[in-house]
Amino acid sequence: MTARIVAHWHCGSCDVAGRDPESEPSCWNCGGAVTVTARPSQVWSESVD
């Protein structure tokens, strides 16, 4: 299993939102600072061999 932390955020300048595995997310549209709107959550994935 693999786990990663995902933060949900909103950019007030561009009025866009996103999810990012970075600890300090930035806007994908303008590259500016964002406001984290949800606590980071763990996303689990299982690989089946």
Question: How many domains does one find in the chain?
Answer: 1
Taking the CA atoms of 20, 7, 23 and 14 in sequence, report the sign of the dihedral they define: positive
Share of the chain above pLDDT 70, in %: 67
Per DSSP bridges, beta strands 2-11 and 16-20 are antiparallel
Model confidence over 30-43: pLDDT tens digits?
999 999 998 666 66
pLDDT at 12 > cutoff 80: yes
pTM value surpassing 0.85: no
| 49: in domain | no
Residue type, 49: D
Print the domain residue range for 21.
Answer: 2-41
pLDDT at 29 > cutoff 70: yes
| 46: in domain | no
pLDDT at 44 > cutoff 80: no
CA gap 4, 9 in Å, rounded: 16
| 47: in domain | no
Structure tokens at 42: 């763990």
| 48: in domain | no
pLDDT at 46 > cutoff 70: no
As a whole number of angstroms, the longest Cα–Cα distance in the chain is 44
| 12: in domain | yes
